[in-house]
Chain A
């Protein structure tokens, strides 16, 4: 955008007119008692106005900026003290207004029109938010205007600015959490690239990330609310510590059992076709489909110590399932089964049988082809299956609760503590569990990336 320069006469006349009206109104309003004519602040503004007028007339200051500054100064001198509580506040607002005009003028002039429009709309929205919606937020309006002036020249920065403003005003109780989420979302949205311009996919990304972060908010709130002291206090409590240890132990045992029985089954399902294979594959999903409490009761009806099979186990082997550790493991194995089998099946499916055939042709026997070819190639998928199964087993509440409520695994310990002492006291324990799981999951994911696969970029395998 380029403005036409005003004619020389207007150029000379306007600043003089502006300054003359400032002086005239200063005297008139001073006589009328509306302003204090000899107050230091007002005199200062009058002087600055005169200096600016001279600068504009001698063309040492930018014409438009100089005029805008003179206008703002005159306005603040004449009505500022009636809007702001005192002279200093009025002066501060004046300075911030000057800054906004400075930035806005350059944005309108140097950048495409949409930036200027975004600036103006942002100004209006900030006014609405801080002056009309919030009470006593005039000082914050100043801060926000400064931020707008600094960020208005780039949409990316403006978006980050708005994210912070919204996080710290509208989303106030969870300000830091929402700010964190916003600042994770925005770079993703702005850095998204496609070979062909694709606004639909971009809108989908924005909406999806917003949805995802809304779901992540509780997790963040829970973690960020904790202090090292509260976490240390949790670790000192014996019941919480025992529950954590018990969970880790039983989940590991359950995962081991699943690995021993599930991986061969997955391999068989991947390589063989047999009658009823579809039925078997469908049965795998049963633990996902049925509610966890139902699963727990079903297990109890068979393996409970008063039931035929449970009592037989107790009498023959001295093995108690319900109310004891084996019951926990059994319930965990039951619910984690599909999380083990399905990914393992997919991992084995990704290894072509022709490779095994080639190995057999080259002299390997069936066990060798499986152990030295198929298993290593499926290793990453199998590892991820183990991680998923472990996480599912460690997180199980319902089925374990019906089998063995005490000794309590971590989810049950959380439930018990919540029942006993309420929400606030439970939060640190939950945060510890959450942090523990997240860190473990993150580490395991990192480990999984190191394991080579068939499609590894290293290229040491076909």
Chain B
């Protein structure tokens, strides 16, 4: 009995000993109005999808994404990135009643995103998110190739599988080497995130049809991980901070590159399988006033909309609101105008 207990104790102290505590809240730039600008600009960018003319909607969307990147470069410098967003939301809520300005500062981005998602649809993912935009633009390069492969049900050759296996093996060996030669540092987290990404790609290259849906549940897992870490005030580093986020995240460039490379193989791979915010936004989007509605009388089940969707959210016109990014490609692609964007204030709770 004592042996087991002491073993458990060593494991506990080993598991938590090297994880650092966040010492104090990262302060915003004082008098920078970053939170007000964020609310204004994010709100504006989220409302735009309904206002822009339908003929050139996708161009407007790419322009919107460019603005999103500019805003988030400004905001991320004050550390409100995707991972930080969850942690800072928690911190901001705890500050209510003590430091109300600080509370607003931390809550502004997540609250704006959730509120606009509940009113105007989950347009953040398709129209604003900088990580999404990065993958979107990579997807523009490989679009034609990917569409063909998607129509064929994502076949991957044995050579592709072998290559993915090789990359995964190299990553695993590297991590083994690291774990033997040095302690675990949270700063290295993006290596681990990259490893997860590589393993996901490996599974998908092996059998995309089998693993596509089950792996999407990982999003909820990563949300829970980040939320739990923030509740225990452990630091979890964001893998998608594009390298410029913070000095103590030197490896994040690596994982950004890995996201870009993986997107070449599978479009929107980060949004599909790993994004922690996506599960929260999907929840808000399911309760949204604005939604893409199918007129089943006009729909001919031709499946064109399936083909244009980057995240495989549409099947013969029926949209899976858990997955939909509200990019409206399906609406624009439909030759029979069977899909339309509608506001319904009476829509029941999901």
Q: At the interface, yes or no: B80 with Cβ under 8 Å from chain A? A: no
Query: A134–B98 Cα gap in the complex (Å)?
Result: 10
Q: Is B104 an interface residue (CB 8 A)?
A: yes
Measured in the bound complex, the distance between the Cα atoms of B97 and A96 in whole Å is: 21
Among residues 115 to 172 in chain A, which have CB atoms less than 8 Å away from a CB atom of chain B?
A: 134, 136-137, 139-140, 142-143, 146-147, 149-151, 153-154, 156-157, 168-169, 172
| A175 at the B interface (CB under 8 A) | yes
Query: A88 with B346: in contact, given A232-B16, A245-B1 (CB under 8 Å)?
Result: no
Closest Cβ–Cβ distance, residue A148 to chain B (whole Å)? 9
Q: For the complex, what is the distance from the CA of A143 to the CA of B287, rounded to whole Å?
A: 19
Known: A88-B33, A143-B104. A168 touches B39 (CB 8 A): no
Stretch at the interface among A16-24, A99-107, A353-361, A394-402: A99-107
Q: With A153-B345, A154-B349, A228-B12 known to touch, is A235 a contact of B232 (CB < 8 Å)?
A: no
Which residues 166-199 of A sit at the B interface, judged by CB distance below 8 A?
Answer: 168-169, 172, 175-176
Determine the residue in chain B with the shortest Cβ distance to A231: B12
A-contacting residues, B1-36, CB 8 Å: 1-2, 5, 8-9, 12-13, 15-16, 33, 35-36
Also in contact, A232 and B40, with CB within 8 A (given A111-B345, A169-B96)? no
- Tell yes or no: A92 within 8 A of B by CB: yes
Contact B345 A175 (CB under 8 A): no
Identify the closest chain A residue to B31 (Cβ).
A86
Interface residues on A, range: 35 or more
Whether A175 and B40, one on each chain, are in contact in the complex, defined by CB atoms closer than 8 angstroms, is: no
Closest Cβ–Cβ distance, residue B118 to chain A (whole Å): 4
Question: Is the pair B40, A150 in contact by a Cβ cutoff of 8 Å?
Answer: no
B108–A236 contact, CB under 8 A?
no
A29 to B9 alpha-carbon distance, docked (Å)? 73
Instruction: Report yes or no: A137 in contact with B36, Cβ–Cβ below 8 A.
Output: no
Instruction: Verify A92–B345 contact, CB threshold 8 A.
Output: no
Q: Are A139 and B101 in contact (CB under 8 A)?
A: yes
Within 8 A of A (CB), among B101-123: 101, 103-104, 107-108, 111-112, 114-115, 118-119
Contacts A88-B37, A235-B12, A245-B1: A140 and B111 contacting too (C-beta < 8 A)? no
Determine the residue in chain A with the shortest Cβ distance to B93. A168
Output the residue of A88, A168, A169 with the most chain B CB within 10 A.
A168
Does A91 touch B at the CB level, under 8 Å?
yes
Contact between chains at A147 and B289 (CB < 8 Å): no
Check A134 against B349 for contact (C-beta < 8 Å): no
Taking a contact as CB atoms under 8 Å apart, the answer to whether B40 and A92 are in contact is yes
Interface string of A200-235 (1 = CB under 8 A from B): 000000000000000000000000000111011001
Q: Would A111 and B100 count as touching, CB distance under 8 A?
A: no
A28 interface residue per 8 A CB criterion: no
Are B111 and A229 in contact (CB-based, < 8 A)?
A: no
In the docked arrangement, what's the CA distance between A245 and B250, Å? 46
Residue A97 CB within 8 A of the other chain: no
Tell me whether B84 is interfacial, beta carbon within 8 Å: no
Q: How far is the CA of A169 from the CA of B107 in the complex (A)?
A: 14
A139 to B108, CA, bound (A): 10
Contacts of A136 in B (CB 8 A): 100-101
Q: Which of B15, B103, B233 contacts A227 (CB 8 A)?
A: B233
Contacts of A153 in B (CB 8 A): 289, 345-346
Given the known inter-chain contacts A92-B40, A137-B100, please indicate yes or no for A235 contacting B9, CB distance below 8 A: yes
- Please tell me if the beta carbons of A151 and B118 are within 8 angstroms of each other in the complex: yes
Closest to A148 in B: B115
User: What residues on B are CB-neighbors of A92 within 8 Å?
Assistant: 36, 39-40
Out of B16, B104, B108, which one reaches A229, CB within 8 Å? B16
Flag if A103 contacts B104 (CB, 8 Å).
no
- Binary contact track B226-242/A, C-beta < 8 Å → 1, others 0: 00000011000000000
Q: Verify if B179 is at the interface (C-beta below 8 Å from A).
A: no
* A92-B36 Cα distance, complex, nearest whole Å: 6
| Contact among B97, B114, B289, B345 for A168, CB-based, below 8 A | B97
Roughly how many angstroms separate A2 CA and B2 CA in the complex, as a whole number?
75
Residue of A nearest to B289 (CB): A153
B101 touching A143 by the CB < 8 A rule? no
B143 at the interface (CB under 8 A from A): no
What residues of B have a CB within 8 angstroms of the CB of A232 in the complex?
9, 12-13, 16
- Return chain B residues, CB-CB under 8 Å to A95: 39-40, 43
B15 — which chain A residues lie within 8 A by C-beta? 228
How many Å lie between the Cα of A149 and that of B107 in the bound state?
16
B296 is an interface residue with CB less than 8 A from chain A: no
A110 on interface, CB distance cutoff 8 Å: yes
In the complex the two chains form, what is the Cα distance from A168 to B91 in whole Å? 12
Would you call B96 and A168 a contact (CB within 8 A)?
yes
Which chain B residues border A147 with CB–CB below 8 Å?
Answer: 111, 115
A320 within 8 A of partner (CB):
no
Contacting pair A143 B111 (CB below 8 A): yes
A54 to chain B, nearest CB (A): 15
The one of B12, B35, B345 that contacts A106, using a Cβ cutoff of 8 Å: B345
Across the two chains, which residue of chain A brings its CB closest to B288? Answer: A150
Is B94 an interface residue when CB atoms closer than 8 A count as contact? yes
Task: Decide: A139 and B104 in contact? CB cutoff 8 A.
Answer: yes
A449: Cβ under 8 A from any B Cβ: no
Is A241 touching B16 in the complex (CB atoms < 8 A)? no
Residue contact B8 to A235, C-beta cutoff 8 Å: yes
Whether B93 and A241, one on each chain, are in contact in the complex, defined by CB atoms closer than 8 angstroms, is no
Does A89 count as interface, using CB distance less than 8 angstroms? yes
Cα(A149)–Cα(B47), bound, Å: 14
CB distance from A132 to the nearest CB of B (A): 14
CA distance A55 to B98 in the complex (A): 44
Q: Are B39 and A236 in contact (CB under 8 A)?
A: no
List the 9 closest A-B pairs by CB distance, nearest first.
A139-B104, A110-B345, A150-B118, A172-B97, A150-B115, A92-B36, A146-B115, A232-B12, A168-B96
9 A-B pairs in the complex with CB atoms less than 8 angstroms apart? A92-B39, A92-B40, A95-B43, A106-B343, A142-B39, A142-B104, A150-B118, A153-B346, A168-B96
Given contacts A172-B96, A231-B12, 17 further A-B contacts (CB under 8 A): A91-B40, A106-B343, A111-B345, A136-B101, A139-B103, A140-B100, A143-B104, A143-B111, A147-B111, A154-B287, A169-B97, A172-B97, A175-B93, A176-B94, A235-B12, A241-B5, A245-B5
List chain B positions with a Cβ less than 8 A from chain A: 1-2, 5, 8-9, 12-13, 15-16, 33, 35-37, 39-40, 43, 93-94, 96-98, 100-101, 103-104, 107-108, 111-112, 114-115, 118-119, 232-233, 284, 287, 289, 343, 345-346, 348-349
